[in-house]
Amino acid sequence: MIKMVVFDMAGTTVDENNVVYKTLQKVINEAGHNFSLAQVLAAGACKEKLQAIKNIIALEISEPDDATADKIYNLFVDELAKAYDSFEIKPQPGAEETFQLLKDKNILVVLNTGYNEKTAVNILEKLQWETGKQIDGLITASDVKNNRPNPDMIVLAMQRFGIENGSEVVKVGDSIIDIEEGKNAGCSLSIGITTGAHSYEQLATAAPDHIIHHLQELLPLI
């Protein structure tokens, strides 16, 4: 019996018009590079952002300097917070309806994200989503030691709601790293969705249990 669904945020439940990678491109290029958005996405999509920065810079420099990458990362965090204040953010189609349908079935709705808590809370405020209303919980990278693909965020969500077995949890996300996270947490289902960072073909390489194209396709699967 499924007791909880853990959803990724950007690209899965939140439509933020690629603001993360546009911001990443901006701060890296301001540090003296000239990468296209396509290059940034190819090298950095769905990776922990400090590692993404290193991977992107490595397209030009074989061994990027850690101190430089750290500096760019800190600028990225600051710029992303500003970007979320100015960019339009809206729910992915069907997100709020899917949340309510799950809650009607007494299934917990939890969001998790590789963003820090400040950024994630800012997104929720712009969407007017509240814990205890549209969602039951929020777990961010600020809450755990190890980010995706480690299972720490899902494990913490399970602990908070007294769920002992991953077989009672479903993970939904738009990237390979989401699927890996779900598998590492022992989730009953790890489901990819094509509304974000990775295509159907890319998601398929992670061997998800299902790939969907719209959030409301989730309900018949659980």
Predicted local confidence at residue 133, as pLDDT: 96
Angstrom distance (rounded) from CA 61 to CA 31:
13
From-to residues of CATH 3.40.50.1000 in the chain: 4-15+90-221
Predicted local confidence at residue 68, as pLDDT: 94
> Taking residues 154-176, what's their average pLDDT?
97
DSSP per residue, 110-151: EEEESS-HHHHHHHHHHHT--BTTTBSEEEEGGG-SS-TTSS
Class of domain 19-86: mainly alpha
Angstrom distance (rounded) from CA 109 to CA 2:
11
* pTM of the predicted model as reported, rounded to 2 decimal places: 0.88
> Taking residues 85-100, what's their average pLDDT?
93
The chain-wide mean pLDDT, for the chain, equals: 93
Interval 20-73: pLDDT, tens: 889 999 999 999 999 999 899 888 876 778 889 999 999 998 777 899 999 999
Integer angstrom CA distances of residue 180 from 17, 33, 39, 88, 151: 24, 31, 23, 29, 9
Interval 177-221: pLDDT, tens: 999 999 999 999 999 999 987 889 989 999 999 999 999 999 999
Asked if 83 and 17 touch (Cβ cutoff 8 Å), the reply is no
Asked if 195 and 174 touch (Cβ cutoff 8 Å), the reply is yes
Predicted local confidence at residue 204, as pLDDT: 96
Q: Which CATH number fits domain 4-15+90-221: 3.40.50.300, 3.20.20.140, 3.40.50.1000, 3.40.50.2300?
A: 3.40.50.1000
